[in-house]
Amino acid sequence: ETGVTQSPTHLIKTRGQQVTLRCSSQSGHNTVSWYQQALGQGPQFIFQYYREEENGRGNFPPRFSGLQFPNYSSELNVNALELDDSALYLCASSFFIGTAGNTIYFGEGSWLTVV
């Protein structure tokens, strides 16, 4: 058990719709990041939040956005869904302590299918 939980586990959306995925981090973790994992690929970094502010983003368009809340929960929002957005979305949390590397813990993911 990593202490990172995600919801929903599976969902199906129609192209053009919007979706919100949720994540609850380990208590005390101040950093949350989101990854997209297409079938047969390694996870791709979407963005990360530190103390409720986005401070890093991968190569994803602005229709991917997020929020981090004081209670260690976070959201990933995707607008104007496209078929290629179909993937497993992984939430990961950690406690960042400066230049020392932090161990990152993952949730079980949310499977999104866009039809």
Partner 1 sequence: AQTVTQSQPEMSVQEAETVTLSCTYDTSENNYYLFWYKQPPSRQMILVIRQEAYKQQNATENRFSVNFQKAAKSFSLKISDSQLGDTAMYFCAFMRGGSQGNLIFGKGTKLSVKP
Contact with partner 1 (CB under 8 A) among 20, 58, 65, 75:
58
Q: Smallest distance, Å, CB 16 to partner 1? A: 27
> Per-residue DSSP letters for 3-67?
S-EEE-SEEEE-TT--EEEEEEPPTT--EEEEEEE-TTS--EEEEEEETTEEEEE-S--TTEEEE
Q: Are 48 and 75 in contact (CB under 8 A)?
A: no
Q: Which is nearer to partner 1, 58 or 75 (CB)?
A: 58
Contacts of 17 by beta carbon, 8 Å cutoff, 6+ apart: 81
Contact with partner 1 (CB under 8 A) among 21, 23, 24, 31:
31
User: How many whole angstroms separate alpha carbon 55 and alpha carbon 59?
Assistant: 14
88 in contact with partner 1 (CB under 8 A): yes
Determine the size of the site formed for partner 1 (CB under 8 A). Answer: 33
Contact with partner 1 (CB under 8 A) among 23, 92, 112, 114:
92
Contacting residues toward partner 1, per CB under 8 A: 2, 31-33, 35, 40-45, 48, 50, 55-56, 58, 88, 90, 92-94, 96, 98-99, 101-109
